[in-house]
Amino acid sequence: MELFNNPIVCAIFIGMIMSIPTFAVLIKIEKLQKLIDEQCTQFLLLTKRHSALMHEIDELSEIETYNGKNLDSLSSSVQYFINEQKTALENKIMPTPQLSEMIGVTIQEQIATEEMLMHNMRIPNSDASMKIISNVCKTYPHVDEEYITKRCLATIESQIQKAQRSGE
């Protein structure tokens, strides 16, 4: 115990005993410092990624706004077109003389087609008149259907009368 009576030895001994926890604390502090550095690096990377994502979100928001305006414009244009088509279909016109001529030619072509299809048939097709009227109406959808029907029937009747006169 005389060894502990010497103050220098005691101081060295106490210093050695105290240095062990100090070294352990320093090692722990160094590990914590590395961990903090890694966390700071990850935080910086996450901050950069967040900034990039926010920039992309802003761009997408601008694109969405632009597309929304285009969609609204397109939607109103389509609605206008549909309304115009409805109005055109509801408001059938009576043909001008030039259009009436064209309708007459179309009717003649349809009659000729039906005559050729029924030429060798023993029993004529009873739906031929309706088929002719339907085809002409499809060709001129903006013209009054009643006018086309009357015109088709008159032309068919005229063709029948011509055929009967030439057969006599």
- Where exactly are the structural domains of the chain? 2-86, 92-167
Give the pair of three-digit tokens for residue 111. Answer: 């009659």
The pLDDT value recorded for residue 25 is 87
Question: If we measure between CA atoms, which residue out of 90, 94, 86 comes closest to residue 144?
Answer: 94
Decide which of 7 and 28 is more confident: 28
% pLDDT > 70, the chain: 92
Give the pair of three-digit tokens for residue 96. Answer: 């001008």
Q: Say whether pLDDT at 110 is over 70.
A: yes
User: From residue 164, how far is each of 110, 125, 155, 158 by CA, in Å?
Assistant: 20, 18, 14, 10
The pLDDT value recorded for residue 22 is 84
Tell me if 107 sits within 8 A of 132, measured CB to CB: yes
Rounded Cα distance between 153 and 130, Å, is 9
Q: Say whether pLDDT at 50 is over 90.
A: yes
Q: What value does the mean pLDDT take over residues 98-109? A: 90
Q: Say whether pLDDT at 1 is over 60.
A: no
Tell me if 94 sits within 8 A of 144, measured CB to CB: yes
Claim: this prediction has a pTM higher than 0.75: no
The pLDDT value recorded for residue 53 is 95
Q: What value does the mean pLDDT take over residues 100-122? A: 84
